[in-house]
Structures are given as C-alpha cells and as structure tokens.
Chain A
Amino acid sequence: MTTTTLSSDRLDVRAVRRQFPLLERQIKGKPLVYLDNAATSQKPQVVLDELLRYYSSYNANIHRGIHTLAEEATAAFEATRDAVQRWIGASSREEIIFTRGTTESINLVAWTWGRQNIGAGDEIILTGMEHHSNIVPWQVLCEEKKALLKVVPVDEQGELVQEEFERLLGPSAKLVCLSHASNALGTINPVRQMIRQAHRIGARVLLDGAQSAVHLAVDVQDLDCDFFCFSSHKIYGPTGVGVLYGKKELLQEMPVFQGGGEMIKEVSFEKTWFNDLPYKYEAGTPNIADTIAFRSALQFLERTGRTKIHAHESALLEYATRRLEEIPRLKILGKAREKVSLVSFVVDGLHPQDLGILLDNEGIAVRTGHHCAQPLMKRFGIPGTCRASFALYNTEEEIDRLVEGLRKAIKMLS
C-alpha cells in the first residue's frame, strides 16, 4: 500500500491487476485480455473476500432479526446504502433504493411514477442512443396509457441533436429518459444542461447511469436529475444489485412497486400500511450478500483514487483510438467530444461477429453485436459493431494485443 499512496498521481496498474484474480486466466493458451468491461467488470479480491466472509460468518436475514447475526448483516447492508449515497452525492440515504440492476430500476419508475403521472396524449422523450432497457419499459407504458414516445436523433458524430431536443420539449412532454453515457458509442451526453431545459417546462428526467457511474464522478444533486439508475456489476461489484436514486419528494408520492415482506408496516386483511422510504420499494428479502460486497468495491475504488483511475482510463481511450485508427478499413463509430472509455468500431466489408470470434481465439474478449441498441445500429445502417471497453486494470500492452489481433483477423477474413 505504501508504494501506491506515496507514488505520484499515476495509477499503479500492476498493483491494481494483482487484486483481480480472474485477470490471470489463459484463454486458448493465451493470457486473457478483457475488454468487455462495459458489459460487466471483473471483481477485486476484496469483493470476493467479503462475499465469503458474509456467508461464513454473519449470514442472516436483515432488518427484523433481534439476534447478533441479524444486527451485523443489517448494519453491513445499510452501510452499502450510505456508501452509495456518498458515491452519487444524494442528499439522503432514503433516496437510495436497491434493485436487481439498472433495468429493474428503470422498470420500477415506469410501473410506479409512470403509471401515476403519464396519461393519454402525454409525451415521453427518449434518445436514439438508448439501451433497450430504457426503451421497452416506456413503450409498454405508452401503449397502456395512450401516451407518445418522442426520440431525440443522433448525429453522425454520435452526439444528440440538441436543437431537436429543444424542439421536442413541448407542453405535453412529461418525462425525459436519457442515457448519461452511451453503451454503444461512449458518448457522454450534456445531461446537466438537458435536465435544466427539461425542468424549465416541468418535465421530469430519468438518467440511465449504467455506463457513467463507473467512469464519471456523479453528483445527482448538482445534476438535479429526478431519477438515476445504475448497476453494481459494472462498477466492480457483484451482479444482481442495482440502484434507483429518486428525489425524496417523488419517491414519497409514488405508489408501491411490489408487495411483500420488508415493505410493510402493518398488514391486516382489510388494509396494509406501507413502510417508509427506502424500504417501501424493497419488498422481500433483498440480495444481501451482493449488496454488502458492493460496498467493498466502492471502497476499493476510493482507496485506489478516482482521479487517478479517471486519468488512466482517459489515457487508454486516447491510445486505443489512435492505434485503432491506424488500421486500414477500420472506422470508429462515435466521435463525440466527450466519451467514456470505450471504442466502438466496424471494419469495412467484415462482419463484427467474425472479428469477435477470431479475437476470442487470441484470448481477447470484446463485445460484438448491436449492444442492445438496435435503433442506434439502424441509424448508422450497420448490423452491429465491435466494442472494446476499458477498465482501470487495462494496459496499453493489452490495446496493442487488440490491434495485433485485429490485424491478424482482418487478414484471415479478407
């Protein structure tokens, strides 16, 4: 630890890598190069340790038990809520609801706030770069309520056409659902400004933070978004844990999502008194172990230093962009001014899937396909892309191997 704390502002990537046991794997006899971090990141040892520690020393159901184990488990579980509150700068811990993931967080808002506040003729504004998870719940809602979906188009660079967004902000617009950063292009949207514009006409804003929470310093109060959704597993935490942040006044007014244990105060067959925030939205036994271990991931990132991590990831993005552009026939999709650390690309005449299979043959894991953003792929007239997405443990040498692997694959396929 002394070396990392005493050393300069640079991230000690070798030391970081030693904390991720999975990175030692060999694929097809070659050292793994894991560049699918936007899908899910690998987990540091501290997260794995905490999972084991929970199950081997304080596993208990939370909130109601009077015994020691239940107290310990409850305290650890609630400590994650505090850590998440700090991570995104929420004003109160009651504004942090645990879900199964970003998708469930979005659905929770659609089924509760949406059903209460969206009516016939109302408009929900989405963007052309949304993940299917931030399209389908709203489509379902619009169909049920006879409301309308409006879509902000994406320009050639992969940025939202702001004039179109302003034009769509009419009197019927009630909600804007917006990805903070695009999973398929990397574009970081100017959400702060867009939220202000939406609020001016009284619309609420839901931010899909699945790709931003890991790379950017998110401050929900500064952004002033009404809802913010993200997943633990993309921030080095376990799978199966998501977060819904909502402004307290909205969460208090919303109807309940699922009924069951934990979310109630008192039940009789005539009436149920619901629990207070945040428990009102956390029916049933939650994913205790993974939620607790999620805190270890956040602590790990804070210890490592978020500024250092950000600088490292930005350098990787810059290096990868430069190196990939050297490859003939390769075209990078998404050239926004502000991007998170991922590069989406196509190679003229070649199917991304073929490239993905041959890269895997070299031990290199990238994502190929439509990235659950089919409308966006349609916009660019392609079936899909190859996407390399970077994390704090990736290195320039790994990007070199990607470039080498791509050159070889292109040669084999051409």
Chain B
Amino acid sequence: MTSVKTIEQTEQEIVEEFSLFDSWDDKYEYIIDLGKKLPPLDERFKEEENRVRGCQSTVWLVADQRNGKIFYQAESDAVIVKGLISMLIRVLSGHEPEEILRAKLDFIRDIGMTTHLAQTRSNGLLAMVKQMKHFALAFKLKSEIAPNHG
C-alpha cells in the first residue's frame, strides 16, 4: 500500500494523458470511452437518496469507508457525465477524508473541462464534486465522534 498515489499525482497523470490529444474530438472520444467503461452501479443503489441533483442528467453516487479510506461508486444516464465521474473516482477514491476535503481538483480546469463545472444546472458535475466532499466530511466527523469505528 506504500505506492498509493496522492490525489495531486493522479490529477497530474490525467493532465498528462490529456496533453496527448490535439483536438477536442479526441478529448471527448476519450471521455466517452471512459464513460462506457465505468462499471454499472448495482440497481439497489439507484434510489432517490443516492441521487445527485443535476438539471438534465441523473447521477447516483454512493460511498463507503474501508480502513479509513473512502471508496466511491457512481453512475449516470448520460455517457459524457459518466466519463467525468470515472475520472473523479480515479482521482478521489481510496483516499482519506482529509485528503479529499483538501483536494482542489485543478485537473478539471487543466484538461479544459471547466465549462462542465460552470454549467451546474446542466450536468451537475459541480454538484457531484460537492457530494463527494460531503461524504468525506461526513466520514471525517463520524470518525471524530467515534474514533474506534473507523
């Protein structure tokens, strides 16, 4: 477990991968491909309480904590959003709540996907990031209240 990358390192990795693309088409092809490969979320999680409210696409997000680290699973009915989710999971999953709360997630801007953050009402990426951090905060508070139940 010593070779686990930091959030910043994974972000950097994604930025470098994207720097190989010289057109927007290639970037989107790649994101769509990630979206298609995202493992489907178990149907039992697709409930209202796991829904991240975006305006157009539906996103379900669940998180659990193992050995003090948070692991996310998510899905959406729109494939580009799924691709973006896939990257967020790659960056944040498997880290401790403190790290996740600190993460600036600059890679979204660096790969040119800021528009998806700005359009909060249209695809809920920002809502998704917020929800992921919200989970981290919840787990952090929980462990502070009951430190023995990590």
Contact = CB atoms under 8 A, between A and B. Distances in A.
Interface residues of A, number: 16
A352 interface: yes
Contacts of B58: 383
B109 to A, nearest CB: 17
Interface in B13-38: 24-25, 28-29, 32
A361 interface: yes
A383 B24 contact: no
A104 B80 CA distance: 36
A369 B28 CA distance: 20
B56 A361 contact: no
Given A353-B57, A353-B122, A361 B79 contact: no
Contacts of A383: 56-58, 77
Nearest to A409: B28
Interface string B72-92: 000001111100000000000
Contacts of B116: 357
Interface string A350-391: 011110111001000000111000000000000110000000
Interface size class of B (residues with CB under 8 A): 10 to 19
Contacts of A354: 32, 78-80
Nearest to B31: A357
Contacts of A352: 56
Contacts of A351: 56-57, 77-79
Contact of B56 (A28, A358, A384): A384
B80 A357 contact: yes
Interface string B32-59: 1000000000000000000000011110
A412 B57 contact: no
A368 B56 CA distance: 8
Interface in A269-314: none
Contact of A353 (B24, B25, B56): B56
A28 B24 CA distance: 8
Interface in B58-74: 58
A413 interface: yes
A412 B32 contact: yes
B32 to A, nearest CB: 6
Interface string A21-54: 0000000100000000000000000000000000
A353 B115 CA distance: 14
Contacts of B29: 412
A361 B25 contact: yes
Contacts of B80: 353-354, 357-358
B93 interface: no
A383 B77 CA distance: 10
Nearest to A408: B25
Most buried by B among A351, A361, A412: A351
B141 to A, nearest CB: 34
Contact of B81 (A353, A358, A384, A413): A353
B7 to A, nearest CB: 26
Contact of A361 (B28, B57, B81): B28
Contacts of A28: 24
B82 to A, nearest CB: 9
B21 to A, nearest CB: 13
A353 B57 CA distance: 7
B56 A369 contact: yes
Contacts of B78: 351, 353-354
11 contacts: A351-B56, A351-B57, A351-B79, A353-B78, A361-B24, A369-B55, A369-B122, A370-B55, A383-B57, A412-B25, A412-B28
Interface of A: 28, 351-354, 356-358, 361, 368-370, 383-384, 412-413
Given A354-B78, A369-B55, A370-B56, 5 more contacts: A353-B123, A356-B122, A369-B122, A412-B29, A412-B32
Interface of B: 24-25, 28-29, 32, 55-58, 77-81, 116, 122-123
